[in-house]
Amino acid sequence: MLSRVANSIYWMCRYMERAESYARLIDANQRLILDLPADVPEQWNPIVETTGDQQRFTEQHEEFDKDSVFQFMGLDRENPNSIVSSLSYARENARTIREVISSEMWFHINQVYWEVQKGLAAETYRGNLSSGLIPIVKSASQSFAGIMDSTMSHGTAWLFGTMGRFLERSDQTARILDIKYYYLLPSVDHVNSPLDLLQWSALLKSAGAMEMYLKQFGTVNFDEIVSFLALDKNFPRSILHCLKTAEGCLHEITGSSSPYSTPPERELGRLRSRLEYMDIVEIKTMGLHEFIDWFQLNSNRISESIFDQFFAQNKKAVAETSQ
């Protein structure tokens, strides 16, 4: 397969997943604030800080308030990771490989793009993301994944796209877990308080995990939430499940007799294996924030290794130049 095609479908799927993840972060924080006691101040900085975009944000905005964060994470075309930017990059990558993807995939991503552009032009979403842009993006991303799985042959191109989607999802789930590091409690006495549990519940909702978590565990608990989102083998948004899915795609792409014959396979296999034998005690000993930092460092190495192995000949592709 051409490096250009592999690169484009990989990033097309990553950007669609990123758009949904940002929509989920905004939505969960908005819901959390609605449930907070009247004497607890709103906190919008955590969802910006966990994305790593706080420096870019502070260059444009003075305060981490609702409107500024909505604008920056949702509507800002100058922010390469905003929802509208991610949708634009996803569409542009899809446009360059229309000969590879199904016509239904192109129709869907193009339709969503123009629907959002129409809303932007009419200023429909300004200050009203939760009832406008957020549900559109969440539904569009999930529909796109379903259309791709059901209308595209599960060959090399599909494998690159699926690998990209699940690597992006693992990174975003890690960021969701890391938000709790930035949420401030009034005092240490509020640990395990109703407010603390509200914040943890918001994280579960942002990962689309609340229902499955409660079916399995019944009550909100730090140890079980972290274990579920990081180490569960069956939940489709857990970090470990995402890595296992991406690793399976990578092995099929290389087609090598040894499952660890290429640098990306070794990097991904090493990280997946480490998580598979990890438990909540080890994560707590390391510290949740430190665990997330460790994971993202290794995740970045995997992405770099995949680029070097498969995409290096296409450095000027749309997705790469946007990073």
Q: What tens digit of pLDDT does each residue of 156-182 get?
A: 999 999 999 999 999 999 999 988 888
pLDDT computed for residue 130 by the predictor: 65
CB 190 within 8 A of CB 212: no
Position 318 scores a pLDDT of: 46
Mean residue pLDDT across the chain: 90
Q: Which domain holds residue 173?
A: 3-321
Domain count for the chain:
1
Tell me which of 4-8, 32-36, 208-212 is least confident. Answer: 32-36
Residue 91: predicted pLDDT: 98
What's the whole-number mean pLDDT along residues 140-169? 97
Which H or E run includes 261? Answer: none
pLDDT for residue 204 is more than 60: yes
CA distance 39 to 6: 51
Name the pTM for this structure.
0.92
Residue 201 has pLDDT above 80, yes or no: yes
Q: Which residues contact 106 (CB under 8 A, 6 or more apart)?
A: 94, 95, 98
Q: Which of 23-27, 64-68, 175-179, 230-234 has the highest mean pLDDT?
A: 230-234
Please tell me the distance from the alpha carbon of residue 319 to that of residue 101, in angstroms, as a whole number.
17
Measured between alpha carbons, how far is 216 from 212 in angstroms, rounded to an integer?
6
Res. 4: pLDDT tops 70: yes
Beta strands in the chain (DSSP E): none
- What confidence score (pLDDT) does residue 184 get? 60
pLDDT of 35 above 80: no
> Mean pLDDT over residues 2-27, rounded?
94
Residue 191 has pLDDT above 70, yes or no: no
Q: Which two tokens stand for residue 12?
A: 């097309």
> Counting runs of H as helices and runs of E as strands, what totals does the chain give?
16, 0
